[in-house]
Amino acid sequence: MNILTFRTNEELNEAGANIITSLVQTNPKAIIGLATGSSPIGIYEDIVKTFRKGAVSFRQVSTFNLDEYVGLPIDHPESYHNFMQRHLFDHIDVPASQINIPDGNAGSLTEECARYNRKLDDAKQIDLQILGIGHNGHIGFNEPSHALLSGTHIVELKAETREANARFFDSIDDVPTHALTMGVGAILKAKTILLVVRGESKAEIVHRALTGPISTECPASLLQTHSNVVVLLDAEAGRLFAE
Ligand code: F6R
């Protein structure tokens, strides 16, 4: 595991964006797994800057998002479809037909999970999967549990996850109770995993996940079993690694 700590968010963003744009420069048909949430936003902004300079094209890239809320209209400002358009897809040249995000409004959510799994299977392997980590150790929306699922599935969000995400909504009651998420099997199948963690409030969980016992009660701890994980931490999130 390659754990890198950055003094500033600007340096972290630049390093993260470089990893992704370099991948696409060397492999224009790269398959990239994307995350939402606050952690990757600065990296997406730097990717857009590089794209605007004409240094990279995403025309042949395919993307797979980790997750989506159930029942939130696609045009809701906090839907992950909307988030991705706003922060990345509206500003780069990836064709809409090559973008994959689970549909949390599908008539049959079970069939939607099966469809997403088929798409992932057809893609064979994600070249680079971006991840954030929840305060409870979740990755994607794979919440702590006595067992974890490998494939895309419906998940009931833990109270602490809804509380953490309430900052994006008018009130906690507006935060959806369920989501669709890629499973840990698909995440761990990626060739490279890029975990991005920022802020003091994540210092303990990221340290425990990457150095503590491997357990389904801390889904991010399973990253210890992967042979190619790059971790980008800001100084606050990386505090316990420096000790
Ligand atoms: C987002 C996702 C989540 C977030 C995690 C951290 O697609 O899958 O696992 O990465 O909740 O969220 P932030 O970055 O907002 O702290």
Q: What pLDDT is recorded for position 211?
A: 98
Q: What pLDDT is recorded for position 226?
A: 98
Phi-psi region of 205 (alpha: psi -120 to 50; beta: other; left: phi over 0): alpha
Cα of 141 from ligand 1 centre, angstroms: 8
Q: Which atom of ligand 1 is nearest to the CA of 139?
A: 9
Q: Which residue has the tokens 């902004």?
A: 45
| Cβ 139 under 6 angstroms from ligand 1 | yes
Q: What pLDDT is recorded for position 242?
A: 80
| Cβ 38 under 6 angstroms from ligand 1 | yes
Exposure string for 187-214, b = 16+ CB within 10 A, e = fewer = bbbbebbbbbbbeeebbebbbbbbeeee
Q: What pLDDT is recorded for position 202?
A: 98
Mean pLDDT by 10 residues, the chain (243 residues): 96 98 98 97 98 98 98 96 98 98 98 98 97 97 96 96 94 96 98 98 98 98 98 97 81
| Cβ 219 under 6 angstroms from ligand 1 | no
